[in-house]
Amino acid sequence: MRPIKAFKLVKYFLIFSFFYVGLNNNPAHASDCENWVAKLQSSQGSVQVRQKNTDRKNKQWTNVKRNAAFCKGDVLRVQENSRAALLLKNDTILRLNQNTTITFTNLTPDKPSVVSINEGIGHFISRIKAAFEVITPFINAAIEGTEFVVSVNK
């Protein structure tokens, strides 16, 4: 094999590897979360997650994309001029407005579902009659199978 031909092969291999890794790098941890509690169905603007299962020194916000899965304890924030729609494990649809931060507390089919809204607006649509609790810094709401909006201003 001539040296020029070998150089071209190495060059093409490196270029292919770079694009393959770059395109398959999912900033969210959808594949890491086997027992997911929520999935991002759609988003506009900047939506970020801070994962619960990362070490304390490395807890940073990471951008998420469509179909990202979230685990119990993850914190999700929707930035200025942004929106997000999520499907929760209990088949509830949750729409989040801009400047909203939530924590996925407990979303299991056999127990009452719990979501914490730290700030912002959440629009919940639940077609199944089941206990659902929303925790805020000021008050807690317990709802059974309906559509409701929770707004938290600091």
pLDDT, tens digit (0-9, with 9 covering 90-100), for 58-79: 679 999 999 999 999 999 999 9
Q: pTM of the predicted model, to two decimals? A: 0.74
Measured CA to CA, the distance from residue 35 to residue 146 in angstroms comes to 25
**What average pLDDT does the segment 25-39 reach?**
66
Q: Which of 101, 106, 79, 115 is nearest to 153 (CA)?
A: 101
C-alpha dist (Å) from residue 23 to 8, 47, 137, 139: 22, 19, 39, 43
Measured CA to CA, the distance from residue 13 to residue 17 in angstroms comes to 6
Measured CA to CA, the distance from residue 106 to residue 116 in angstroms comes to 9
Mean pLDDT of the chain: 82
Predicted local confidence at residue 152, as pLDDT: 94
Options 1.10.10, 1.25.40, 1.10.3470, 2.60.120; CATH of 27-152: 2.60.120
